[in-house]
A and B are shown apart, each in its own frame.
Chain A
């Protein structure tokens, strides 16, 4: 549950009812999003949106850090693939 996706804020204005609204771009489609819960948001920021409300800004630095962590994760030399495991078991079994 909790379908929420990131979008880029293009424009911010107050609507007729006084709510802070942002025209937000999701991969090319644009929807009005309520920004009242993210008062720090500026035009050009990315926000995480759930049912028409921004719940958080997307922290670019943190995103990059997480992504770099994943990308740089070293794969150690002796990768234990399932086949390798089976071979290992088989040779163990036949050892005297």
Chain B
């Protein structure tokens, strides 16, 4: 299954100076000759793709932290900039649609930098044959979501591809926001003793999508939790401007988000399984399909790493906000096992929580 591919520039044969190939560097050694679906699931393969193929080509101090967005100084203001693409299928699902997701996604990435989101761009890639009615619904939904989040859509682009070359609609949104003074959110700020807070019950979005996926359908009240988190982040920052880390656990779930932070900050993370909030229904769906909720996507939740002295105050502030009602402390940053996430299980045993390499699939075993 191993494949090693390298490209090297060929020497000139006609006395002309050598024209560089599109990239004079050899393709990094990769186990895969082709992109596979797992490269997009937010787990190990995604990270490897970014770290081995993309990051080395562009690396700079703004990109390297691989946080949800980049924060830089511009004319005295701290500006946050982020981008996100949406390819979800089906495009309409319980609790939302691809448009709503696209607006919330970038709003949330900016919020995870501690920024107030201000301006969004939206680029559409539409598949020939997409029903006009469907596109209209998506656009309407985006308008509503942008209004609710207090952001303006200020620029965009629209392209159409041949039928069969795009899964109905792909959307990219990018955004800018401003970080208020005194706020410095960065994975490197994770410190031993930091309390890990989740804003509410997990795994809702992923399960909502599964429930309408062909071959797995089931009746449920579960809807996607997609929501703009900037308001919640604002009340958290009001309670404690010195939040250390914020991350929204989207694809790859809570595990991906925490593993990334542990890796980037070089710290250990310890979780208590019995403290992790999850609804009965989501639990039921996960049990039935054999899925682990820790790996299932969330679209309206955040994780916060907070200094112990601030934890109680931040938690209290979150709980009076509609998007933080179910907030709970689920773990702590520890000095042991750096770069690793471990968990005390329901029965008092321990396990390591490691990122998956690809998508989690339903199982019978």
Chain A–chain B contact at Cβ < 8 A: yes
Contact A31 B219 (CB under 8 A): yes
The 6 closest A-B pairs by CB, nearest first: A27-B284, A28-B281, A1-B365, A30-B219, A26-B284, A29-B220
Size of chain A's interface in residues, with CB distance under 8 A?
A: 16
Q: Counting CB contacts under 8 A, is A86 at the interface?
A: no
Main secondary structure of the interface of A (DSSP, over half): strand
Given A28-B281, A29-B220, A30-B219, 8 other A-B residues pairs in contact with their CB atoms under 8 A: A2-B365, A3-B365, A26-B287, A27-B287, A29-B222, A29-B288, A31-B219, A50-B364
Size of chain B's interface in residues, with CB distance under 8 A?
A: 18
Question: Which residues from A are CB-within-8-Å of B284?
Answer: 25-29
Query: CA–CA, A3 to B361, complex, Å?
Result: 13
Give the number of residue pairs across the A-B interface with Cβ within 8 Å.
Answer: 47
Main secondary structure of the interface of B (DSSP, over half): loop
Contact A5 B288 (CB under 8 A): yes
Please list 30 pairs of residues, one from A and one from B, whose beta carbons are closer than 8 Å in the complex, sorted by A's number: A1-B365, A2-B364, A2-B365, A3-B290, A3-B363, A3-B364, A3-B365, A5-B287, A7-B288, A25-B284, A26-B285, A26-B287, A27-B280, A27-B283, A27-B284, A27-B287, A28-B220, A28-B279, A28-B281, A28-B284, A29-B211, A29-B218, A29-B219, A29-B285, A30-B219, A30-B220, A31-B219, A31-B288, A49-B288, A50-B364
Q: A33 → chain B, closest Cβ, in Å?
A: 10
Question: Which residues from A are CB-within-8-Å of B218?
Answer: 29-31
Query: CA–CA, A26 to B283, complex, Å?
Result: 9
Q: Counting CB contacts under 8 A, is A51 at the interface?
A: yes
Q: Counting CB contacts under 8 A, is B336 at the interface?
A: no
Question: Which residues from A are CB-within-8-Å of B281?
Answer: 27-29
Which B residues, 259 to 298, have Cβ-Cβ distances below 8 Å to chain A?
279-281, 283-285, 287-288, 290
Query: CA–CA, A79 to B254, complex, Å?
Result: 39
Question: Which residues from B are CB-within-8-Å of A2?
Answer: 364-365
1/0 per residue B332-365: CB within 8 Å of A? 0000000000000000000000000000000111
